[in-house]
Chains A and B, each alone.
Chain A
Amino acid sequence: MSDWVEACDAEDIDEEDVMRFDHDGRTFAIYRSPDDEYFATDGLCTHEKVHLADGLVMDDIIECPKHNGRFNYKTGAARGAPVCVNLRTYPVRIDAGKILIQIG
């Protein structure tokens, strides 16, 4: 369970923004919060499989670009219709300026 995978440079993501990361046939969303912390979740909305990386980050919320469903990207919790199912989250760490996520 130590499947740490290098995703991108930490500076590749703007503050209060999100970036898509595809790996081994899976897609993830990596977030940089307004207070400069990094988080990762599954990349597709649990409602209709839309890429969250095209959505809007506001504080600790990611809003889906298709139907405006909301998740707390720090916890994965569904926070607003039409999403009802939580997002899966993944541990993130920064190593030498690189973002690594554990995708076990």
Chain B
Amino acid sequence: MEATLSAMPSRRDYSLLGRDAKRAVETGLSAAEWYHTDVPRKQMKELMKREDGPAIRDTIIWLGALILSGAGGAWFWGTWWCVPFFFVYGVLYGSSTDSRWHECGHGTAFRTQWMNDAVYQIACFMIMRNPVTWRWSHTRHHTDTIIVGRDPEIAVMRPPDLLRVVLNVFGIVDAWHAMTDMVRNAAGIISPAEKTFIPEQEQPKAIRIARIWTAIYAATIALALTMGSFLPLMLVGLPRLYGAWHHVMTGLLQHGGLAENVIDHRLNSRTVYMNPISRFIYWNMNYHVEHHMFPMVPYHALPRLHELIKHDLPAPTPSILAGYCEMVPAFLRQLRNEDYFLKRALPPTAKPYREELHNDNHAVAAAAE
């Protein structure tokens, strides 16, 4: 199966220690100055303003629904009635935590910092992302968004490994890596790649968290063995697998099939209109161009930011389905031609791209094919 889903070896080197990483630094592609839409300071201050209210409300709903659905699943365990409860619980555990991790990591969800920190730690545990490692990897993702060799969070590299993508709908590859990384960190080992983005003074914190988590998972497994039941694992750990599909579905749309090595988020990120339930689970990260351009703006203000700057952005993708209808064919085409990508068209009201800053001739040719 892999042979049909994989293409020839990539000319790109996505390793954080590799050839393309060095080249990105040497050419100034790394840590470059990115395009920003002009927004008057007064309006931007209004948009950046922090509040506790929206995130407290959403967190009460989220945790309340998590507890109720988990309790329902446990109550009906052993019957088919537990399935809808675990369906909801899984998405709240294995997908909602992707956006909670993200927003609280930015420190924008709540005005009160300890609230950001508390939800961040809970969400990190559920989504299986070491809170230290991932804070720093996400910092790099914002510095060098989809820059080959620099961005540690490129979800689909070229040529796309579609088997990996499909397995990750059930969290299989990501959870496996998360577990092996956790055990390695718990043993006191920080990998050479991790050392490229985690400052030395932060590394012991990553190790300490990994040890705590290892103890929690060991206790959960011990409880399951003692009870002779999968139920403890259905509540802790496994939801990262059976509930991952929603965050994978929305997350792939963020940058999938779009340009690499450009320094304009309008080219490499995608804003998608979504239904209210997905937007609650995803905390408005469907406004992804806006988020990358202005990461200081909290999730609850992103719709307002979108209205303010949409004249300068590519037309938003109208739905999740529409996003997949353009992205999947692009992935399939990249199996044959890894230089192919979806080039975003700007409206006439937008400031033009600075082609000389962010495109190479191969990429332009591939997009024009």
Contact = CB atoms under 8 A, between A and B. Distances in A.
Interface of A: 17, 48-49, 54-56, 58, 63, 65-68, 70, 80-82, 84
Given A66-B142, A68-B296, A82-B139, 13 more contacts: A17-B45, A55-B296, A58-B111, A63-B107, A65-B294, A65-B295, A66-B295, A67-B139, A68-B107, A82-B136, A84-B199, A84-B201, A84-B202
B108 interface: yes
A54 B50 CA distance: 16
Contacts of A63: 107, 296
A65 B294 CA distance: 7
Main secondary structure of the interface of A (DSSP, over half): loop
A67 B143 contact: yes
A80 B113 contact: yes
B48 interface: yes
Given A66-B143, A80-B107, A56 B113 contact: no
30 contacts: A48-B31, A48-B143, A49-B31, A54-B44, A55-B296, A56-B48, A56-B49, A56-B296, A63-B107, A63-B296, A65-B294, A65-B295, A65-B296, A66-B142, A66-B143, A67-B139, A67-B295, A68-B107, A68-B108, A68-B296, A80-B107, A80-B113, A81-B135, A81-B136, A81-B139, A81-B202, A82-B135, A82-B136, A82-B139, A84-B201
Interface in B172-228: 199, 201-202
Interface in B130-162: 135-136, 139, 142-143
B288 interface: no
Contacts of A82: 135-136, 139
B106 interface: yes
7 nearest interchain CB pairs?
Answer: A56-B48, A82-B139, A68-B107, A67-B139, A68-B106, A65-B296, A81-B135
Contact of A70 (B107, B136, B295): B107
A66 B199 CA distance: 18
A56 B201 contact: no
Contacts of A66: 142-143, 295
Contacts of B45: 17, 56
Interface string B30-56: 010000000000001100111000000
B269 to A, nearest CB: 15
Nearest to A85: B199
Interface string B262-300: 000000000000000000000000000000001110000
A103 B294 CA distance: 31
Contact of B142 (A49, A67, A70): A67
A82 B202 CA distance: 10
Contacts of B201: 84
Contacts of A65: 294-296
A70 B191 CA distance: 27
B295 A58 contact: no
A55 B44 CA distance: 9
